[in-house]
Amino acid sequence: MFRSKTKVDKILWLGRDFLFTTAQRHESEQILDQLEVPYEINMFSDVDHGFAVRCDLTKPRQKFAKEQAFDQAANWFDIFLKE
């Protein structure tokens, strides 16, 4: 997935994700380190896969994760799309 990366990357991971396991996350981190390209990883607990589009906004942690994911992605693109 990441082996051909030549540009910066922004990744939002979950503490529990049935599609992207902890082992896969660790492998991806190692690959990103070897590529020597800038990247940022943020990890959210208490949310499930798809949290940024289908979370329960009545649950404070889920709402926080959704809002943080949006803000972090917007800031990341604002900075790195200008390069």
Q: What is the pLDDT of residues 17-51, one digit of tens each?
A: 888 888 888 898 888 888 877 788 888 888 888 88
Global pTM reads 0.71
CA 49, distance to chain mean position in Å, is: 11
- Do the beta carbons of residue 55 and residue 12 sit within 8 Å? no
Domain ranges of the chain: 9-78
Average pLDDT for the chain: 82
Residues 59/51/15/22 CA torsion (nearest 10 deg): 160
pLDDT higher for 5 or 58? 58
Dihedral pair phi/psi, residue 39, rounded to 5°: -150, 160
